[in-house]
Amino acid sequence: MNLTIDPIPHLLKKIAIPASVGMFFSTMYYIVDNFYAGMLSSTALAGISLAAPIYFMGMAVSIGVGQGTNALVGNANGQGREDLAEKIAGKAISFAWLSASFNWSYCIIFRG
What percentage of residues in the chain have a pLDDT greater than 90? 21
Answer whether residue 105 shows pLDDT above 90: no
Q: What is the pTM of this model?
A: 0.60
Which residues, at least 6 apart from 88, have a Cβ–Cβ distance to it below 8 Å?
69, 72, 73, 76
Cβ distance 3 to 72 under 8 Å? no
Rounded to the nearest 10 degrees, the angle between the axes of helix 42-78 and helix 82-106 is: 170
Q: Kindly give the residue spans of alpha helices, DSSP state H, lying in 1-112.
A: 8-40, 42-78, 82-106
H or E stretch at 24: helix 8-40
pLDDT digits over 21-65, tens only? 988 988 888 888 888 988 988 888 888 888 888 878 877 888 888
Please report the pLDDT score of residue 111 as a whole number. 63
Query: Domain ranges in the chain?
Result: 8-111
CA distance 34 to 21: 20
| pLDDT band (50, 70, 90) for residue 83 | very high
Please report the pLDDT score of residue 90 as a whole number. 94
